[in-house]
């Protein structure tokens, strides 16, 4: 439940020389000038208006604004020189700060992702949209000349919202990995079907194991045309 409403903050006390206390007939009045403000969970958002509560210096009676003559109220407000303190705008300030931060992060993130896409590196993970299968992640394992060796993630998601929460594992065998040509990659990139990029810097250790076994680091892993799940390159729209 959101707690909100209005509260009052006393700004100052101004003396009144024209009006006297109606309770003790004659006591001088001091006007307490309050600033009414709107709050949410007691965080002040913005000031609303000034309020006057008179107090008799003699008998101590408090007289609310409604019981004072409109002229006296007007005069008290006019003799008050204090403006609503900036502190009463705290809530608006906080909200503005949050909006600005989110905007900056979003812009910065978009810029970063663009940079990553224009310069792919092993360890980059792409969220790729496929018309028939939904969304899945692909990790760049190796880039050799014009081809990118992609490790498809085990999980497919029907929509982007679910996909962005997490991804499955990248523990498929090397023979299940796919080659993308630069042309195919560019096609996905320019058509906006690579939705999300993260630069993890982490690749599977499987390529290293193979190089050790075969004794050649340039050897391509056996590529398989009998991929089980997910298209090698997601089909175009
Ligand atoms: Zn009085």
Residue 33 lies in a domain: yes
Non-local (6+) Cβ contacts of 2 within 8 A are 40, 41
141 and 206 part of one domain: yes
Q: How far is CA 105 from CA 92, 93, 96, 114, 216, in A?
A: 20, 18, 14, 14, 43
Residue 203 lies in a domain: yes
Residue 228 lies in a domain: no
217 pLDDT exceeds 80?
Answer: no
Question: Which pTM value belongs to this model?
Answer: 0.59
Range of the domain at 39: 4-92
CA of 81 from ligand 1 middle (Å) equals: 25
Residue 146 lies in a domain: yes
- The pLDDT mean for the chain works out to 86
Q: How many structural domains is the chain composed of?
A: 2
8 and 64 part of one domain: yes
pLDDT confidence bin for 164, thresholds 50/70/90: confident
Residue 222 lies in a domain: no
Q: What whole-number distance in Å separates Cα of residue 82 and Cα of residue 60? A: 24
CA of 151 from ligand 1 middle (Å) equals: 86
Residue 114 lies in a domain: no
Query: In terms of Cα–Cα distance, which of 61, 56, 55, 46 is closest to 9?
Result: 46
CA of 28 from ligand 1 middle (Å) equals: 7
**Residue 185: in which H helix or E strand, if any?**
helix 182-190
81 and 125 part of one domain: no
First-to-final CA distance of the chain: 46
Q: Percentage of the chain with pLDDT > 70?
A: 87
Residue 233 lies in a domain: no
Structure tokens at 66: 């409604």
78 and 161 part of one domain: no
Of 52, 73, 92, which residue constitutes the final position of a domain? 92
Residue 115 lies in a domain: no
CA of 6 from ligand 1 middle (Å) equals: 29
């Amino acid at each position: 439940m959101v707690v909100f409403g209005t509260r009052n903050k006393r700004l100052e006390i101004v003396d009144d020389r024209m009006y006297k206390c109606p309770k003790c007939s004659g006591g001088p009045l001091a006007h307490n000038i309050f600033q009414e403000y709107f709050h949410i969970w007691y965080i002040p958002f913005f000031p609303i208006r000034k309020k006057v509560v008179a107090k008799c210096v003699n008998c101590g009676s408090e007289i609310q604004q409604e019981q004072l003559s409109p002229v006296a109220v007007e005069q008290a407000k006019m003799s008050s020189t204090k403006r609503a303190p900036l502190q009463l705008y705290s809530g608006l300030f906080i909200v503005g700060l949050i909006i600005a931060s989110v905007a900056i992060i979003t812009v910065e993130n978009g810029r970063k992702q663009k940079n990553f896409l224009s310069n792919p590196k092993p360890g980059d993970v792409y969220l790729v949209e496929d018309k028939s299968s939904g969304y899945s992640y692909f990790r760049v394992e190796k880039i050799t000349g014009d081809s990118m060796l992609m490790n498809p993630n085990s999980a497919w998601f029907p929509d982007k919202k679910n996909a962005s929460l997490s991804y499955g594992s990248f523990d498929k065998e090397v023979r299940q990995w796919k080659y993308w040509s630069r042309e195919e990659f560019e096609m996905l990139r320019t058509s906006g079907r690579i939705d999300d990029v993260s630069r993890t810097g982490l690749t599977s250790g499987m390529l290293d194991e193979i190089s050790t076994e075969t004794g050649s680091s340039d050897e391509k892993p056996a590529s398989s045309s009998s991929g089980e799940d997910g298209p090698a390159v997601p089909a175009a729209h």
